[in-house]
Structure 1
């Protein structure tokens, strides 16, 4: 894996990590999401981590499919990422990932998604529910942006304005 691909993955992970804090700027959204997760039998901490990971995986899959460099990642339309999270098969989201991860938490989260993907049954059903949650989150964030076709750079810019950690 090249340094550029590692950097691309880090950009995708950063996007995944900021979507929920940006969404939660309206506090009632977090309460509603937690209620949904509980009703689905998903621990909220685990659910939030998988949501972050699915957002990163979808962004990465779309960027790799489009042959985007890390420098071009910001041009990726958020709507394309939102469509990919439910429009691609789970195994497609896992293709082309790094063999090793700089962050152990990322590696564990990706392994959990892999496990849910290949285990089937209830796990796959939960993954589908979480994927729809990611799509909803990205769609809401895109609708908040003042530009007609918001990109990943717009969302990362919003995160920087909100002083969210990188």
Structure 2
């Protein structure tokens, strides 16, 4: 049986997976993001994967801080997740992770994030720069929401409309 904590993690992971595909519905955004990553000396595939896991970790940290159940997760405001991206320290984002991961790619991405966060000055600066990319992506989704206070549930509805499977 899957625990509620694991279900919250899965909802966070889904948010991370759909973040860039939803932002990239505006065709000019992907090339611009990739150019920005390259200009900063960040491999685009690695950078995009780190953006994804950064969003997962931020959403997870906010959900844990608010003691949200999986059923309550859809009501989590996107702007709270965006704020956590830049306001929480790396170790705060890594707190409370699941003991095991159902997806090996998620576990690898978390480990890469962990290494980057604690590797030193140059890599730490890159993580900081990626936090801006994540915050920007979340702000874009929030701005395109029909409601004033966009939530994770709004993102999930847009993902379903776009055919992005959970």
**What TM-score bracket applies, with the shorter chain setting the length?**
over 0.9
Q: Decide which structure has greater helix share.
A: 1
Q: How far apart, in 2, do the equivalents of 1:75 and 1:26 lie?
A: 25
Aligned to 2:75: 75
Aligned to 1:46: 46
Aligned to 2:87: 87
Deviations 1:80-124 (A, max 9, x none): 000000110011000000121111000000000100111121111
Aligned to 1:36: 36
Count of residue correspondences: 165
Aligned to 1:102: 102
* TM-score, length basis structure 1: 0.98
Cα RMSD (Å): 0.8
Structure 1's consecutive aligned runs of 4 or more residues displaced over 4 angstroms after TM superposition are none
Aligned to 1:140: 140
Instruction: For structure 2, list consecutive stretches of 5 or more residues without a partner in the other structure.
Output: none
Q: How far apart, in 2, do the equivalents of 1:124 and 1:165 lie?
A: 33
* TM-score, length basis structure 2: 0.98
Q: How far apart, in 2, do the equivalents of 1:26 and 1:65 lie?
A: 33
Instruction: For structure 1, list consecutive stretches of 5 or more residues without a partner in the other structure.
Output: none
